[in-house]
Each structure stands twice: as structure tokens, then as C-alpha cells.
Structure 1
Amino acid sequence: MSLKLRVFFAALLSIVIITTACSSKAPVQQKQETKAQKITVTDLVGRQVEVTVPANKVVGIWPGALRLITYVDGVKKLAGVENIDIKPADGRTYNMAYRDELSKLPVIGQGGPDSAPDPEKLVEVKPDVIFAAYADKAKADDLQTKTGIPVVVISYGKLATFDEDVYKSINLIGKITGEETRAHEVVDYIKNCQKDLNDRTKGIPNDKKPTVYVGALGMKGMHGIESTQGNYPPFKNINAKNVVDETGQKGSVMIDREKLLSWNPDVIFIDEGGLPLVKQDYQKDPKFYQSLKAVKDGHVYGLLPYNNYTTNIDTAIADSYYAGKVLYPEQFKDIDPAKKADEVYKFFYGKPLYDKMVELYGGFKQITLGS
């Protein structure tokens, strides 16, 4: 090979090496440039909030904020936790799933529906963003001013279970934490469960449906048989014939027990959080309960309590499948409610929780009030 040719190939090789080296560095530089950036998001009360994404450290304050964070990102980025979640909280499924991890985090305030935040403790843990549930604009602005930390308001909406505001909140958390894929998966999973429940039951004629009532629902504490709901999400999901819906009321309702006798539903479900109160009441007035068709026919069943520091959406989904299995066995013949519950818990938390819920409350089963 001539000297000129050798020089030409050497020069060509140098160009290739230089070009390759530049191209291999380019993605690294691009990744560094997009690693952290400031964006403006609109929170659930319409506030424009500037945040740095992806946020590496976050906290959740007030009812339900921490739950939605764990749905999206587990506990990986939590910088602190309210005192109400440091302690074991049975039935609050995210607390049960991540009890060890939560107990080791710094306390950022007392927590609870009527609690005031602790700006000093929030500043101490240095979160990149504070996710706040059930906060109005004034509260959020005040806390942001006091801490100098972006406060992003999230919400469970009016239904507090399967609501567009829940989906917006989950996706907003995903966007800010860099977990958009997981957030979309969570929203899709909830919506797909709803669709499945609706598809199984939408074709059942109304005159073929049993009438149904749910009692002993928790509402800032335990209550007896008179505590119920209109537009009760697990019933709504399966197109059930909820006798309370005729009142036109949505959400929590305290009825007169004579009204329950008047409705005399075919099937009664009892929220097992309030079951002890119902059993105590039965001992005081068995005649009232024995006058109910559902009690006489043995059609009383237990549901897991899902309202605890706002809604455990996971348990509400599990309850929906069990109620469907009881009311429409043919449409749900492929469903094992216990297995379905654990499938749901595993999706949200990566671990089964149904057996623990059975230990605490009794689980999905027929109930005899006099026993």
C-alpha cells in the first residue's frame, strides 16, 4: 500500500473515532439536560404551581394524599409522613402494606382531617413538593408561602372513589415524580375494573335484580345499621338496585330504621367495620331485625370497610366484585372474591392483604347477626 493511501485511511479512521465518541456522549448530555427541569402544573383547585421534575423527595398531607402517592410510587420518594400514619392503622391498606417503611420516616405533622400542617417540620425534611389533599386555594397558598416549597393540591372528587378527579390526581403525581407510565397503569386498571363490572351486569333486566341495602358504613367513626349511602360505589359499579337511591341522595345518609322496614330489601350487606355495633343492636332489639326479609332468609353478607382516612379504592374494587358475586352469581361465576381481592392488592401494593383483612374484619362471607 502506498504512503498516500496509508495516510488517507489513518485520517479516515481518526474521523470515525471522533464521530463515534461524540455520538456516544450525546445521549448522556441529553439525559443530564432533561434530568431536572422546571415546569408549571395546574393542580386540582386550579392553581398554577411551578415544580422541578422529576421530584426526588415528596410528602403527602391530609386525608388520602399519601395513599395516592403510594399507588404511583410506593414509598421510594417519601421524605416524611404524618404521625397518623406512623402508627399502625388497620384497614388503611397502604399503611398495612408499607407499615415498616412508614414507621421509619420523620414525622411532618399530626395529620387528620382537621389538623393544621407543621411548616417547620415540613421544611426540615426538604421535600421537592408537598401533595395536599382536601385543601382549598387559600390553605395551599398559605402553606406554600410559609415553607417556600411547591404545594400541589390533589383530590378524590365528589365520589371519593371512582372519580375523574382521582384519575387527574394520580396522573399529576406521576408527571411530577417521573412515574407517568405507572400512573397511567393505575388509572387504566381502575377504569378496566369498572368496565368489567359494568359489562357483566348492564344487561340484567331491572325486574330480575334483587333489591339491596348496605348498612353500618363508617362516617367519621363507626355507625350501626342506619348508616348507609346513596349512589354507593360498589353497588353503582355493578348496576345494583340500591333501595337508598330512591331518596335521590348521594353519599352518606342516616336513615330512620322504620324506613329500612318499609324498603325490606332482598339482600343486606353490612360494612364489617360497624358489624360489632349491628350485632349489639340485634341483641337489644332482635324483633326489628327478624322482621327484615333478608335476615329471615339468610341473605346478609359482610363487606370490607374501605373508608379510612378517605377511600381505599383497592378495597372498594374488591367489595364490588364480592357484591356482584352475591347478587348475580351467574355473571360472576368465574370470580373467586378472595383471590380477586388479592389480585387487586398485589396490583396496587405488590403484596396480598386479603388474609390480614379477614383477621381484622371477617372477610367476604354470609353473616348471622344473632351469633
Structure 2
Amino acid sequence: MFKRIPIVVTALLLMFMILAGCGPQATSPGSVLPKTRITDLEGREVEIPVPADKIVAIGPGALRLVCYVNGADKVVGIENVEKQKPTGKPYLLANPELTSKPVIGPGGPDSTPDAEKLASVQPDVIFVASLVDRGHADELQAKTNIPVVVLSYGKLAPFDEDVYKSLQLIGKITGNEKRAGEVVAYLKNCQQDLKARTKDIPEEKKPRVYVGALGMKGAHGIESTQAQYPPFVAINARNVADETGKRGSIMIDREKLLSWDPDIIFIDEAGLGLVQEDYKKNPQFYQSLKAVKTGQLYGQIPYNYYTTNIDTAIADAYYAGKVIYPEQFKDVDPAGKADDIYQFLLGKPVYDQMARDFGGFKKLSLTTP
């Protein structure tokens, strides 16, 4: 009997050690995410759990940037404006499952974040673009007790340092730093390629171009344009609206367009219906334009849907380049290039859907749909 005691004791000791080894792991605080301090685009220092597993993105463009960095699977709620209006937003076409997520607020460029709904989905971090300044970001963070990280598109999207910094910040917080670096490199390569194709063309040899019917908090007619229009800037185009000395969205007088009389006119297809209706009422005005008389009227896919769809803006730049400088862009198939861009940034080629929704890259007629 005495010989058996050590065996029993040994067995009991082993069992105790196994149980003791399991016990602390079940209650260990080691499962709590480690934290790091980051500086957001408002210059705020924020302590974030990394990698964040549950995230939300609010305000114009925030969710888009998250999708570019492969963060869609971490999103636990979306704004109502995203759920109700996915048209024109490639990031939602590529990630339709996002529209089934819980609503975390109304959304929209002039909306107020809903602290209660944001807190209800218990995200590790709230990404926000455009809706808040430094003070309001601090206030939202205090109300929700959730880290708030402010992003920015800067003033020169799609190719803006603030866009690159925002992507890298999202990547760091979500554990997708490698992907963020790849996206930034891709955007910079697109910018370099577009400029390299056009940088040596003398100004006097460039056609004079105009883009009309640009969206600006809603659809507008041909008088709505943009000085320093990003797709034109990217290809060094000779935009007649730049002669105003302004930057950004502007409304011009019809007489101004007649005096400019550009060689080529692009129409934002979100406003094409308004232009066609106006043509029925004022055919003489349009028929007086050189571009209309010579058939130099082209459609652009709208990219201003909840701020800049960076992918579509770049695709528009390549299409505009193909139209304005056919020799320099002879190797580019605009639809194929658009799908290359969508595929890289979003993981899916969605040009066909965008073309079905708006018309796609093509010559336009003002007399037929």
C-alpha cells in the first residue's frame, strides 16, 4: 500500500498543476488589447487598443478609406445615409454586406454624430471625417467613452498627403499597415503615371476643356463646374474654369461658357438628365457651343458621392486623358483601367455597375437618353 501512495500523490499533483495552468488563462487580463498612442489628422493624441477588431466610420468618406485598407470586415455599424444610398459608391458595391449592419446615426455632410447609437455597437474606435473639429471630436469621445480618430481628405483629393496619412493611420489601428502602405504606393504611382504622360505637352497645343453638371450637394446643370478640377489637374489639362482664379465648385453664367467656347466638354452623368432637359428648352444655346457642334461632348462617371470616390476620380482622369490626349493614352482602355483601379482598391471590378447606373465612359448626345 505504501508503494501506491507516491503514485496517487503524483497523479493528484499533476491534476492540480493542469487545473492551475488552465485557471489563470481563463481570467487573464492578457486578452485585453494592448494600447498605443496615435496622433490623428486634427493633431489630437488618442490612446487606441490595437489591433482594433470592431470599428465604425462616420462622416463623408470615412467608410471608403476603411474599405481601401481591407477593414470592411471589422465594421460593426454604418450611417443611415450609407445604407439608404449606396448608388455611386463603389466601396458599397464591392462590400454590399455593409448595408445590413446596424444604423449608428443619420449621416450626411451636415449631420451630428449620434453618441448613443455609436456607443450601442461597442466599437473599439470611431473613425470620423469632415463632421467634427478638434473640440467636437473630444466631446464625442467623452460622451461615448470610445476613442475618436479624425481623418481628412485634405484639399487635393484624390492625391493629397492627408489622404495618405489617413490611410496609414487606419492601417496602423486595424493591424493592416502593410495594406495601407500598398494603397498609398498605388495612388502615388497613378499620380506619377498621369503626370508623366502629359507633362511635356506645350500649353498652346492642349485643347481647351470644360466639365459641367458637377454635383455640389445635389445635382446641377451645365453651369456647375469646378476650377482646379482634380481629374484635369492630374493630367495637366487646360481647364477654362481655371481662368476664374478660383478653386473648387463654382456656378458660372451661361454667357461665360459661350465666351470660353471650349474645344471639349465633359458632362458629369449625375447631372446629364438636367442638361438634356435644358437642351429641350434652350437648344440654340447648346448648338452655339463648338464642342456640341463638333461632337466633342463626353460623359464622366460622377465621383462626388459623400465626398471624393478616389477610385472613380482616378478612372475619370484616365478617361479624360484618353479623350484629350489620344496619342499619350493610346494604350489605355478606360473601362478596363477603371476596373483595374476598383479591383486593386476594393477587391472587385465594379465599372459595369457604375456604367449601368450612370452611363459610363462614352460620347454623349443631348437629344437621346
TM-score strictly above 0.5 = yes
Gaps of 5+ in 1: 1-31
- Give the deviation of 1:34 after TM superposition: 11
Gaps of 5+ in 2: 1-28
Partner of 1:191: 188
Deviations 1:243-290 (A, max 9, x none): 011111111010011000000000000000000000001110010011
1:65 aligns with 2:62: yes
User: Residues 291 and 297 of structure 2 are in contact (CA less than 8 Å); yes or no, is this contact kept in structure 1?
Assistant: yes
User: Residues 214 and 228 of structure 1 are in contact (CA less than 8 Å); yes or no, is this contact kept in structure 2?
Assistant: yes
Measure, in 1, the Cα distance between the counterparts of 2:235 and 2:120: 47
Greater Cα offset, 70-79 or 251-260: 70-79
Measure, in 1, the Cα distance between the counterparts of 2:178 and 2:286: 50
User: Residues 88 and 95 of structure 1 are in contact (CA less than 8 Å); yes or no, is this contact kept in structure 2?
Assistant: no
SS of equivalent residue, structure 1 residue 149: coil
Counterpart among 82, 86, 98 of residue 85 in structure 1 = 82
- Give the deviation of 1:292 after TM superposition: 0.5
Greater Cα offset, 81-90 or 68-77: 81-90
Q: Give the letter for the 2:229 counterpart.
A: Y
Partner of 2:198: 201
Counterpart among 158, 163, 167 of residue 166 in structure 1 = 163
Deviations 1:6-39 (A, max 9, x none): xxxxxxxxxxxxxxxxxxxxxxxxxx98994211
Q: What CA RMSD, in Å, does the superposition of the two structures yield over aligned residues? A: 1.4
Measure, in 1, the Cα distance between the counterparts of 2:355 and 2:259: 33
- Give the deviation of 1:88 after TM superposition: 4.3
SS of equivalent residue, structure 1 residue 224: coil
Measure, in 2, the Cα distance between the counterparts of 1:217 and 1:325: 20
Deviations 1:31-87 (A, max 9, x none): x98994211111111111111111111100111111111110241111111111222
Q: Give the letter for the 2:240 counterpart.
A: V
Partner of 1:102: 98
Partner of 2:125: 129
Measure, in 2, the Cα distance between the counterparts of 1:235 and 1:39: 40
Deviations 1:134-193 (A, max 9, x none): 120111011000000000000111234321111110111001111011001111111101
- Give the deviation of 1:115 after TM superposition: 1.4
Q: TM-score, normalised by structure 1?
A: 0.89
Counterpart among 316, 320, 338 of residue 319 in structure 1 = 316
Measure, in 1, the Cα distance between the counterparts of 2:248 and 2:42: 22
1:55 aligns with 2:52: yes
User: Residues 300 and 367 of structure 1 are in contact (CA less than 8 Å); yes or no, is this contact kept in structure 2?
Assistant: yes
Counterpart among 98, 109, 115 of residue 119 in structure 1 = 115
Partner of 2:20: none
Deviations 1:325-354 (A, max 9, x none): 000000011000010000011111111111
- Give the deviation of 1:220 after TM superposition: 0.0
1:241 aligns with 2:238: yes
Measure, in 2, the Cα distance between the counterparts of 1:368 and 1:35: 61
Measure, in 1, the Cα distance between the counterparts of 2:85 and 2:265: 31
User: Residues 71 and 174 of structure 2 are in contact (CA less than 8 Å); yes or no, is this contact kept in structure 1?
Assistant: no
SS of equivalent residue, structure 1 residue 343: helix
Counterpart among 291, 301, 304 of residue 288 in structure 2 = 291
Q: Give the letter for the 1:37 counterpart.
A: P
SS of equivalent residue, structure 2 residue 72: coil
SS of equivalent residue, structure 2 residue 73: coil
SS of equivalent residue, structure 1 residue 152: strand
User: Residues 59 and 109 of structure 2 are in contact (CA less than 8 Å); yes or no, is this contact kept in structure 1?
Assistant: yes
Q: Give the letter for the 2:112 counterpart.
A: A
Identity %: 65
Measure, in 2, the Cα distance between the counterparts of 1:264 and 1:341: 29
Off by >4 Å, runs of 4+ in structure 1:
32-35
Q: Give the letter for the 2:144 counterpart.
A: T
Greater Cα offset, 241-250 or 74-83: 74-83
> How many residues are matched?
339
- Give the deviation of 1:106 after TM superposition: 1.4
- Give the deviation of 1:194 after TM superposition: 0.7
Counterpart among 32, 40, 43 of residue 43 in structure 1 = 40
